[in-house]
Structure 1
Amino acid sequence: MKLYPLFADLSGRPVLVVGGGVVGERKASSLLEAGARVTVGAPELNPTLRTWWEQGRISWRAGTFEDAWLDDIWLVVAATSDAVLHAHMAVLAEARRLFINVVDDAALSSFHVPAVVDRAPVTIAISSGGHAPMLARLLRERLELLIDPVMGPLASLLADMRSRIRTRLPDLAVRRRYYEHLLGGPVLSLLRRRQQALAEAAAERLLETAHTDPGGSVVLLGAGPGDPGLLTLRGLRALNEADVILHDRLVSAEVLALARRDAERIEVAKQAGNHHTTQAQIHALMLEHARAGRRVVRLKGGDPFVFGRGGEELEFLRGHGIAYEVVPGITAALACAAYAGIPLTHRDHAQSVRLVTAHCQGSIDTLDWQALAQERQTLAVYMGTSELPRLQQQLIAHGRAGTTPFAIIENGSRPEQRVITGSLSTLVERATGYDVCSPALLVIGEVAALAHTLAWFGRPPLGTALPVSSPKPEALTA
């Protein structure tokens, strides 16, 4: 059965819901949201419907169904548990040319209530023809993630501008390009920031220059550690709006697969000990494509503002007058530790966490080793696989016990994740024995011992489980 999609204006029009239970309440609720004048017919009303009746939001026909209830009604919903009554109502509705929805009976229904993605005034309805309503709901849940919440405010803004747009851009092709540029320009970003006045001004400026190409922009986007499920919704939208994606080598193929299919992908390989693209060259690529009017996504593993040189890139873009936006990602310390079952803080074992980078000799020399060697804190060391001997030596030399647990999380959150554990005194030996390679996050501290007991993702940790240190007396009474 092929249904004709129809969006009905029920504002101020009388509709009837027969059934005073939970299902009738749900149907009445959506009809009220559409502005309909709702009458509920039933011997009794459930508490919610009764409250609405007492508040004057709905009318109530108390008693069992009568044929006269259908007089002067535009639309009717049968929401009882009486199949015989439903069949009778369907016959009456057909004779009166009334649209009827019979709950859980597609054959008796002349209209079906869809699953709805509400971005008012934008409404997206999904129907399975009444045959698989759960599938329609699941599709709605997927679309809820994909459809930007600001589509409603954008539609309202465009409604206000509609006459001016049609007057200034009578040519349909030019008008279509204007809408495409509007969706790819700064207006959506401004609406997301709740900057309505600036969004309206940007839309008006774009209208004034609709016959010319708009300027490009750059989105600095954190891709997270690799699991595509950890990408933020705003990040997914940015990937689907991108013309050009400048991505690091360590951004997973699964994350890249979520991007717009026809976007140009350029790998700007930056990996510890293997720098094929300099930072200056990355700056030049961003500038080149943005000045050509393209929407550029600078896609980085983890979060761009945590050891990702995102600040340098924004300073460059600002200095050259390029519009930019930042979409955070889940940084490796949070994601990899979580996927390894390691809490970075714990009331009994660690009251603070430090994020440290150790990707080169210069950064190692600038670290405050005295502070880093303190007990009852967690160290999360980024890009430290090439400096493990120095890390081990300095921490022990400054007072960190050799028995302190560690965990190396290699390819955290990805299917090939490995977790290698041990004590600080065996760090280099274990890493060498298991041939650890980048990308890997090193966690040092009492909480690392929990990797064996709290592991939940991928293969079990490699190495002997260490005892979790007993909490100090003050921790027990905190």
Structure 2
Amino acid sequence: MRTQPHTPLYPIFVSLAGIHCLVVGLGQVGQRKLSGLLACDPASVLVLDLAEPMANGAEAAALLQDPRVRFERRSCAQADLQGRALVFAATGSAAENSRIAALCAAAGILCNSASNPAEGCFQVPAVARHAQLAAALSTGGASPALARRWKSELQQWLEPRSRMAALMGRLRPLVLALGEDTGHNTRLFRKLADSPLQQWLEENDLENCRRCLQAELPPALHADIAELLHDLP
């Protein structure tokens, strides 16, 4: 399961609902991994580190207060992998991270190695978020510094587009519930995506948005237009 240099990575957004994770190492890297996991609501996270939590700072201790987290002061054993779907080897020891990555590879478990990404089978991209909209960026390990810079630029790009995404997210289940064929729905969604709706939403021009939706949506959905446009992020 180890990645090979220059092999394209397959991008994927994963739901952590019901997923049990493992973070080994609670230094700065481990804290970032743990914080990122908790933001996506996993079922549980086992955290292992040889040091007392306070030795890694107040922020580390605060993260361990989350009820989804269980901390144990020890090294990682093979038994710790049982039932875990996602593992982060984030210790300060390259040899220890390699050992953990090898255990995960043998067990068929997804692992990220902080010291040598090629030893694991996935890398964590830089993720820019605004409301429910997210964009992930990876340089394939070539330059984490550039990934951080471009993440900031992506954040600015996403903000004015989040209202359009929210509108389409509200609209989609209503359209699908009408039971029209896939081709009809595809044409409607693409026509709305190519319309000036996004610009009008950015400008808060709700009257033009209303007129556009009135013209493009089936009559059965006209009564929903006001609610669709209400309180978009």
Structure 1 length as normaliser, TM-score? 0.39
2:204 is equivalent to residue 159 of structure 1: no
Aligned to 1:170, what secondary structure does the other structure show? Answer: helix
Provide, for residues 181-215 of structure 1, a one-character-per-residue CA deviation record: whole Å limited to 9, x for no partner. 1544422322xxxxxxx85x86554222028xxxx
Rate the CA distance shift 1:93–1:108 in 2: closer, same or farther, 3 A. Answer: same
Aligned residue number for residue 10 of structure 2: 4
Aligned residue number for residue 71 of structure 1: 82
Distance 1:184 1:72 in 2: 44
Distance 1:148 1:171 in 2: 25
Retained in 1: the 8 A contact 2:197–2:209? Answer: no
Distance 1:150 1:157 in 2: 13
Identity of aligned residues (%): 29
Q: Which has the larger radius of gyration?
A: 1
2:52 is equivalent to residue 38 of structure 1: no
Measure how far apart 1:125 and its partner are.
0.6
Aligned to 1:116, what secondary structure does the other structure show? Answer: strand
Aligned residue number for residue 123 of structure 1: 134
Aligned residue number for residue 54 of structure 1: 65
Distance 1:205 1:12 in 2: 43
The one of the two structures with greater contact order (alpha-carbon pairs below 8 A, sep at least 6) is 2
2:102 is equivalent to residue 102 of structure 1: no
Instruction: List runs of 5+ in structure 1 lacking aligned partners.
Output: 191-197, 212-478
Rate the CA distance shift 1:123–1:80 in 2: closer, same or farther, 3 A. Answer: same
Residue number among 32, 46, 57 corresponding to 1:26 in the alignment: 32
Letter in 2 for 1:38: V
Aligned to 1:54, what secondary structure does the other structure show? Answer: coil
Distance 1:49 1:18 in 2: 13
Provide, for residues 302-339 of structure 1, a one-character-per-residue CA deviation record: whole Å limited to 9, x for no partner. xxxxxxxxxxxxxxxxxxxxxxxxxxxxxxxxxxxxxx
Retained in 2: the 8 A contact 1:53–1:59? Answer: yes
2:100 is equivalent to residue 89 of structure 1: yes
Measure how far apart 1:75 and its partner are.
0.3
Within-5 A mapping of 1:131-146: 131-145=142-156
Measure how far apart 1:40 and its partner are.
1.1
Aligned to 1:173, what secondary structure does the other structure show? Answer: helix
Distance 1:174 1:181 in 2: 11
Letter in 1 for 2:79: A
> Number of residue pairs matched?
202
Rate the CA distance shift 1:183–1:204 in 2: closer, same or farther, 3 A. Answer: closer
Aligned to 1:64, what secondary structure does the other structure show? Answer: coil
Aligned residue number for residue 209 of structure 1: 215
Aligned residue number for residue 19 of structure 2: 13
Q: RMSD of the alignment, in Å? A: 2.4
